[in-house]
Amino acid sequence: MFKTMNIFRLCTLKHMRLLLLMNTLIFLVLLFTLYISFTHSEKNFNSGNKFDEKQLTLNIIENRLQKLQQALKNRFPSAVDYIDVHVKHDLPTIYAITPTYKRWTQKADLTRLGQTLLHVPNFRWIVVEDSNEKTALVTNFLKFSGLQYTHLNAKTDQNYKLKSTDPNWLLPRGVAQRNKGLTWIRKNLSPNINGILYFLDDDNTYSLRVFEEMRSTEVASVWPVGLSGGLKFEGPGKCKDGKVLEWYTAWKPERPFPIDMAGFAVNLKLLFKYSEAEYSNDAPRGYLESHFLTGLKLKRHDMEAKADNCSKVLVWHTRTEKPKMKQEEALIRQGKSSNSEMEV
């Protein structure tokens, strides 16, 4: 023991960088040991329960470890060979496309969604603004989010733009933005990449567990979405052995895919194979998702059932209420709006 300590002291003085690298390796051993001991102790519990605390904790630690490795790599470029061996190369990256637009609650919605995404390892957030220029608000928000991201913009064609008095179902929404994200992926990623495509809305609610479910998507996958289509949940209603037996919806059940945008993920290889598939402003009401998925030549029976054979709701179609801004609107009319330097 004393001998080891002396060697450490020597190293501290002489080979600080090498010691740092060694520490990382030792920490990886520690983590692996912890993982093994967790896995072993899990056998005492119901091993079928995929949704337990420990897996969640491990995912989080794994994510933090990756960040630490990245920081080390930036500081000691020559260390790449030592560190990269331990990065989970076999964990596919999730590419999530989120259309967003200016409104009172935009920063709040992006903030709480971003804080959820901070927990998800191997994740890239493709945020596409409905605007002619990238705004300072979204630019700064992303810069300080701590996330891996791509910031794009695409203005919705005025002919397809909802007026503030229109009901929100009148026209399909987010078409130009989702297509811009798809174009970015096809232009910037290799067709051989091991990745998953998902469409995230900025005011929906996502459990961390849904990201781990979609990560194993081989072709395309589905799961139920809570509070969707006027129902408690909508989408795959009965599943067995990873296949969907029945679909559950109360509205236009004849749609090729009676599901919400938050209820499916697609393996990127499909996106490269059918390179024309995209969203359309001319899709009939409720057919936005179906138009895209049939463009990828998918049929209902192709879909892999996730979320414990579609028995769990891990995503909710929530909406943030438009805030009542009576006092602010009165001030704006008088030309005396609240401190314009305060970003909200």
Query: Binding site: which residues?
Result: 99-101, 130, 173, 178, 201-203, 317-319
> Among residues 112 and 186, whose Cβ is nearest to a copy of itself?
112
**Please, are residues 25 and 83 in contact by the beta-carbon 8 Å criterion?**
no
Greatest alpha-carbon pair distance for the chain in Å reads: 78
- Shortest approach of a copy of itself to residue 160 CB, angstroms? 23
Residue 53 C-beta: closest distance to a copy of itself, Å? 6
- State both tokens at 110: 């992006």
User: What's the full length of the chain, in residues?
Assistant: 344
User: Which of 192, 208, 305 shows the shortest CA–CA distance to 247?
Assistant: 305
Q: Supply 181's token pair.
A: 């994200």
- Catalytic, 289? Answer yes
The token pair that represents 203 in the structure block? 């005011």
State the pairing for strand pair 225-226/233-240: antiparallel
Residue nearer to a copy of itself on the CB measure, 234 or 278: 234
Nearer to a copy of itself, 237 or 295 (CB): 237
- State the binding site for Mn(2+): 203
Neighbour-count burial of 117, counting CB atoms closer than 10 A to its CB (0-12 exposed, 13-18 middle, 19+ buried) = buried
For residue 220, give the H/E element and its range: strand 220-222
**Catalytic pick from 129, 212, 213, 289?**
289
Q: Measured from the CB of residue 159, what is the shortest distance to a copy of itself in angstroms?
A: 27
Shortest Cβ 165–a copy of itself spacing (Å): 17
Cβ-based nearer residue to a copy of itself, 25 or 219:
25
Question: Where is the binding site for UDP-alpha-D-glucuronate, in residues?
Answer: 99-101, 130, 173, 178, 201-203, 317-319
Instruction: Describe the crossing of helices 106-117 and 136-143 by its angle, rounded to 10 degrees.
Output: 20
Least distance to a copy of itself, CB of residue 191, Å: 33
C-beta closer to a copy of itself: residue 218 or 343? 343
Whether residue 184 contacts residue 150, with contact meaning beta carbons closer than 8 Å, is answered with yes
Helix axes 16-42, 53-75, angle to 10 degrees: 170
Residues noted as catalytic: 289
